[in-house]
Structure 1
Amino acid sequence: MDKLVQRFLRYVTFDTQSNPDNAQCPSSEGQMTFAQYLKQELIDLGLSDVSLDHNGYLMARLPSNIDYPVPAVGFIAHMDTAPDASGKNVKPQIVEDYQGGDIALGKGDEVLSPIQYPELHKLHGHNLITADGTTLLGADNKAGIAEILTAVAHLIANPDIAHGDICIGFTPDEEIGRGANLFDVEKFGAEWAYTIDGGPVGELEYENFNATTADVICHGVNVHPGTAKDKMVNSMNIAAKFQLMMPEDETPEATDGYQGFYHLKSARMSVARSELSYIIRDFERDGLAQRKAFMQQKVDELNSALNRGKVELKLTDSYFNMKEMVEPFPHIIDLAKQAMEACDIEPIIKPIRGGTDGARLSFMGLPCPNIFTGGYNFHGIHEFITIEGMEQAVNVIVTLSNRIALQYK
């Protein structure tokens, strides 16, 4: 497993932050640089059908080592890191044999505290990898890449472990919702797949939010403030009124489990025009439809109440709950559960309060649940991962590949 940690520490040095403002794919040069590096590693491992297209999709195959037919199964991870925090000049540090208390991050005052993150209380004795408090770590999802490649290398080094064809896919721009946009399912060649992109050990997920983005555009009138009486319409005031119409108890910070939410993600404000960007999430399609109707109702109410100015709403569906596409194939989940249990891991079946490449891919004909990586606190400077969790993810991938082969013997 030494190679696992070495891989991960090397991978996080690549700046692969995706850019939502760039329509190209991949949306940042660093992703292609990283993809080219990984391509050479796949070739050096001796994998077949290694290909990297101009959009940054990297694929390869580990051929079957058995003489009877077994469905080809895929393992997928994404190369980009989230735009929410810097991914440049990541300086990882290993905290050996964690025994509790605050962890100093780098040379500043930033700490990783069990008061803020109580899950640390369960990790005494573990070896943690953190960043230095100025960037995210990149475990989301470079841990998944390192785990997949370490598992593949282990299978190559141990040909007595039976497995069928294993398809490997590394995608760009997952963090900005485009990871599956140009994924060639037919070329990939798997009957089903697993994204290795989850959190703590044991997580196994085949449900995710239905997702819509909502842009609320508030139109005002700008004139010189010295002559503004009865002429100026400040769109920022309209925007503030709209936000106050949204339910306070249906936000990310007030919900969990299967509860949906409205989330004001960003705002661009000026006197003449203000834009509020929301994401709407619900696990049920009907629930999502009701939330969209609620927002339209509030826009209509505000327009009726305004003497001057105007509000408009633009809704764009992003992805849907993969549950309806995965549940018809229960063996996909059962095999993953069996693999975890064989590794002395208790499966934690829970919904993803977010999205994943697997959601889109499931609707593209590739059923694709999500398996843990061992990481925590993704998308921020307090992101960390345990070495033990990464090792367990490798063991699950190896065991799962073997169990699939034995299932069809």
Structure 2
Amino acid sequence: MSDVVERFMRYVQVDSQSDPDNEAQTPSTPTQHKMAEVMGEELRSVGCIDVKVDEHAYVTGTLPASKGAEDAPALMLCAHLDTAKDAPASGVKPHIVHYEGGPLVAGIVNGQPVQTTPDQVPDLAKFQGQDIVCSDGSTLLSADDKAGVAEICALLARLVANPELAHPTIKVAFVPDEEIGHGAELLDLDALGAKWGYTVDGEALGEFNYECFSASEATVTFKGVVVHPGSAKNIMVNAITLASEFQQMVPAAERPEHTEGREGYYHPTDISGTPDEVKLCYILRDFDAADFDEREATLRRIAAFQNARYGEGTVTVEVRQQYRNMAEKFGPADQLLIDYAVEANREVGIEPVLVPARGGTDGAQLTLRGLPCPNIATGGYNAHSVREFVPVRSLELTVDLLERLVAKFAAVRADGTVATPTAGATDGE
């Protein structure tokens, strides 16, 4: 078993699910402290210095530059410690399936196979004859994002074991609560001291993200007028009815189940209440800044229509921004982040695909805070599902890719110019 696979199999067995119902506290769950302590020890064991595990379960450390690269700007590698709430994530039992085609069966639960078919994931055909890591089908595998954590640690161990491998100072950051939108929010960028960074938190091998949705959360509150239903005519205003009416006026074709690619959406995520008061929550997503602003405006126009009909103050809309499209903040000097990632993919035999991420990463938040930070794939599939899996070879290739990637930054001067041609780059890349 290769180093990265061994690490991954260990890390996924440490519970670290985040809790969206406790988002006021960071980390949102005590189990993330345990994962943070484990990763602090892992960073120390692979040779990092200045390792810190803080009270919010942020883990940071430094791998000093290779000989001759001491003056190159520091590069951050980031992954998140938490796992999603969308499926059970406690007591993960990873195992390796040798895939020979047809459905990939993770396990048998309640007498039924938990499986992924080639129709669901066409890439499965590429993995015939390969080993694939799955859970037992009763939980997430937690490849999102413990695959990224394992790949970064395996890279660090390789660099320390092979001093001839070039790399700049590498700043490592493992962060909590990415799955509930907190992520790198409390990461001290001044103390970290990196000029650029990458998150390792993508999906299919070769996918590379330097743009993502802009995102906000809208809470729509409906105030009803409640009287005895026997004498309600021309008096009662039922808040449940108002919420239903509101949702029917939100563009039906612009729901997640009807969109793809660069198309944005309105997604109702939660509803609670009584005839007296209802709260209806949405997440709003779009790549284009003007279209994103229009989504918020649309909800406010619907509210204004209902207020004109039922009385001012009947419907209110509160919007909280979550993150912005990281591409809005990439400048010409940051182009090398994209070029180097494309080159590194090709050098290990992967054809890169530049994909706008239909979701957020820690990189979006970090980029908006001034640390340009696109996203590298981990090789995983079916994130947030008990059918989640990651091919062994994809874990290993990602470490190879990261090795090539950090070598390129060893030749970068402090002003962002390149001192020498990047090692291994082919003509025209």
Q: How far 1:90 sits from its partner (Å)?
A: 1.6
Query: In the alignment, which residue of structure 2 is the partner of 1:31?
Result: 32
What TM-score do the two structures reach when normalised by structure 1? 0.95
Query: In the alignment, which residue of structure 2 is the partner of 1:96?
Result: 98
Query: In the alignment, which residue of structure 2 is the partner of 1:13?
Result: 13
1:250 and 2:251 matched: no
Query: In the alignment, which residue of structure 2 is the partner of 1:40?
Result: 41
Q: Per the alignment, do residues 338 and 54 of structure 1 end up closer, same or farther by CA in structure 2, a change over 3 Å counting?
A: same
1:183 and 2:187 matched: yes
Q: Per the alignment, do residues 364 and 102 of structure 1 end up closer, same or farther by CA in structure 2, a change over 3 Å counting?
A: closer
Query: In the alignment, which residue of structure 2 is the partner of 1:360?
Result: 365
Would the aligned equivalents of 2:4 and 2:151 in 1 still touch at CA under 8 Å?
Answer: yes
1:399 and 2:400 matched: no
Structure 1 residues 59-70: aligned runs within 5 Å? 59-68=60-69, 69-70=71-72
- For residues 57 and 174 of structure 1, the distance between their equivalents in structure 2, rounded to whole angstroms, comes to 11
**Structure 1, unaligned stretches of length 5 or more?**
none
Per-residue CA deviations over 1:231-262 (Å, capped at 9, x if unaligned) read: 54321111111111111111111111111111
Structure 1 residues 195-214: aligned runs within 5 Å? 195-214=199-218
Q: How far 1:279 sits from its partner (Å)?
A: 0.6
- For residues 89 and 354 of structure 1, the distance between their equivalents in structure 2, rounded to whole angstroms, comes to 27
- Once the two structures are overlaid, the 10-residue window that deviates more, 65-74 or 117-126, is 117-126
Per-residue CA deviations over 1:265-322 (Å, capped at 9, x if unaligned) read: 1211322211111011111111111111111111111222337992111111111111
Query: In the alignment, which residue of structure 1 is the partner of 2:375?
Result: 370
- Once the two structures are overlaid, the 10-residue window that deviates more, 227-236 or 269-278, is 227-236
Query: In the alignment, which residue of structure 1 is the partner of 2:277?
Result: 273
- Once the two structures are overlaid, the 10-residue window that deviates more, 170-179 or 2-11, is 2-11
1:144 and 2:148 matched: yes
Letter in 2 for 1:371: I
Per-residue CA deviations over 1:110-164 (Å, capped at 9, x if unaligned) read: 3222233333233222222222333221111010000000011011111111111
- For residues 63 and 372 of structure 1, the distance between their equivalents in structure 2, rounded to whole angstroms, comes to 25
Would the aligned equivalents of 2:106 and 2:134 in 1 still touch at CA under 8 Å?
Answer: no
**Structure 2, unaligned stretches of length 5 or more?**
412-417, 421-429
Would the aligned equivalents of 2:80 and 2:146 in 1 still touch at CA under 8 Å?
Answer: yes
What TM-score do the two structures reach when normalised by structure 2? 0.91
Query: In the alignment, which residue of structure 2 is the partner of 1:73?
Result: 75
- For residues 214 and 313 of structure 2, the distance between their equivalents in structure 1, rounded to whole angstroms, comes to 32
**For 1:249, what is the secondary structure of its paired residue?**
helix
From 314, 335, 339, the equivalent of 1:334 is 339
- For residues 162 and 28 of structure 1, the distance between their equivalents in structure 2, rounded to whole angstroms, comes to 38
- For residues 243 and 134 of structure 1, the distance between their equivalents in structure 2, rounded to whole angstroms, comes to 34
1:292 and 2:292 matched: no
- For residues 187 and 290 of structure 1, the distance between their equivalents in structure 2, rounded to whole angstroms, comes to 38
Would the aligned equivalents of 2:106 and 2:387 in 1 still touch at CA under 8 Å?
Answer: no
- For residues 174 and 408 of structure 1, the distance between their equivalents in structure 2, rounded to whole angstroms, comes to 36
Q: Per the alignment, do residues 26 and 307 of structure 1 end up closer, same or farther by CA in structure 2, a change over 3 Å counting?
A: closer
Identity of aligned residues (%): 42
- For residues 47 and 102 of structure 1, the distance between their equivalents in structure 2, rounded to whole angstroms, comes to 38
Would the aligned equivalents of 1:326 and 1:369 in 2 still touch at CA under 8 Å?
Answer: no
Q: How far 1:230 sits from its partner (Å)?
A: 5.0
- Once the two structures are overlaid, the 10-residue window that deviates more, 264-273 or 333-342, is 264-273
Would the aligned equivalents of 1:326 and 1:368 in 2 still touch at CA under 8 Å?
Answer: no
Q: How far 1:100 sits from its partner (Å)?
A: 2.2
- For residues 399 and 167 of structure 1, the distance between their equivalents in structure 2, rounded to whole angstroms, comes to 17
Supply the RMSD in Å over aligned alpha carbons: 1.8
Letter in 1 for 2:272: R
Letter in 1 for 2:102: G
- For residues 5 and 104 of structure 1, the distance between their equivalents in structure 2, rounded to whole angstroms, comes to 17
**For 2:68, what is the secondary structure of its paired residue?**
coil
Would the aligned equivalents of 1:129 and 1:386 in 2 still touch at CA under 8 Å?
Answer: yes
Report the number of matched residues. 409
- Once the two structures are overlaid, the 10-residue window that deviates more, 322-331 or 53-62, is 322-331
Query: In the alignment, which residue of structure 2 is the partner of 1:158?
Result: 162
Would the aligned equivalents of 2:19 and 2:28 in 1 still touch at CA under 8 Å?
Answer: yes
Would the aligned equivalents of 2:140 and 2:385 in 1 still touch at CA under 8 Å?
Answer: yes
Would the aligned equivalents of 2:47 and 2:157 in 1 still touch at CA under 8 Å?
Answer: no
Q: Per the alignment, do residues 344 and 102 of structure 1 end up closer, same or farther by CA in structure 2, a change over 3 Å counting?
A: closer
- For residues 372 and 267 of structure 1, the distance between their equivalents in structure 2, rounded to whole angstroms, comes to 34
**For 1:262, what is the secondary structure of its paired residue?**
strand
